[in-house]
């Protein structure tokens, strides 16, 4: 009788949990690649050179009722760097800068999410570029969550807007050498912008 009693107790506990699990909102969001941008700019003499990464993937778990439990994972194809000048792009893919042949992925993996200014979040995580992994703090704004207006093609789909703007020192990640800033051709600071929509399908 004892095993039967244990099984009965377990089943009762499991069934009592099912409604709660069913009521918990989904947290997984997927990037809408047609409405997503990962870009950068860096100083060049007296102006700036802008660029983008055209290939990337994003995994995000986010519940607006518990933002501190959010998780972010970004994977960027370093060979997809694009500045509008093929010769410069090839140089950036080369060993001195992104070394795309040996370090094909730029990775950001969140570790902690804290309240930020203006109702935003501060996402603390590890950023890996080439052979260097360093902790960075990224201010993130959740711009809003709305139902997708194209209900016939995207029934039950919600859209989340995300904006992150932050800077890194390229020298800390072995992206180029100090000689470029000493010559006045390139700054050491890279300004990064992530501006995208993510989808939660019904």
Q: Which pLDDT score is estimated for 119?
A: 80
Q: How many CA atoms lie within 13 A of 84 on its CB side?
A: 6
Q: Of residues 136 and 201, which shows the higher confidence score?
A: 136
The b-or-e profile of 135-170 (16+ CB within 10 A means b, else e) is eeebebbbeeeeebeeeeeeeebbbbebebebebeb
pLDDT of 15 strictly over 50: no
Q: Using 50, 70 and 90 to split pLDDT, how confident is the model at 155?
A: confident
Q: Of residues 4 and 138, which shows the higher confidence score?
A: 138
pTM of the model: 0.84
Q: Using 50, 70 and 90 to split pLDDT, how confident is the model at 202?
A: confident
pLDDT of 14 strictly over 70: no
Q: Which pLDDT score is estimated for 4?
A: 44
Q: Which CATH superfamily is domain 29-200 in?
A: Lipid/polyisoprenoid-binding, YceI-like (2.40.128.110)
Q: Of residues 7 and 55, which shows the higher confidence score?
A: 55
Q: Which pLDDT score is estimated for 19?
A: 40
Paired with 59 in beta bridges are 30, 73
d(CA 10, CA 114): 37
pLDDT of 161 strictly over 80: yes
């Amino acid at each position: 009788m004892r095993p039967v009693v244990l099984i009965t107790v377990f089943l009762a506990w499991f069934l009592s949990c099912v409604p709660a699990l069913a009521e918990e909102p989904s947290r997984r969001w997927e990037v809408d690649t047609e409405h997503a941008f990962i870009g950068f700019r860096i100083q060049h003499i007296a102006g700036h050179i802008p660029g983008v990464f055209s290939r990337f993937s994003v995994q995000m778990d986010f519940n607006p009722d518990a933002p501190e439990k959010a998780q972010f994972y970004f994977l960027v194809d370093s060979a997809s760097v694009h500045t509008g000048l093929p010769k410069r792009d090839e140089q950036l893919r080369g060993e001195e800068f992104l070394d795309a042949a040996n370090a094909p992925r730029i990775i950001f993996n969140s570790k902690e999410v804290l309240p930020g200014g203006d109702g935003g979040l501060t996402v603390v995580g590890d950023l890996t570029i080439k052979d260097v992994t360093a902790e960075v703090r990224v201010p993130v704004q959740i711009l809003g969550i709305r139902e997708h207006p194209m209900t016939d093609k995207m029934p039950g789909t919600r859209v989340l807007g995300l904006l992150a703007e932050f800077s890194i020192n390229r020298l800390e990640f072995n992206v180029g050498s100090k000689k470029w800033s000493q010559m006045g051709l390139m700054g050491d600071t890279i300004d990064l912008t992530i501006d995208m929509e993510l989808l939660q399908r019904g």
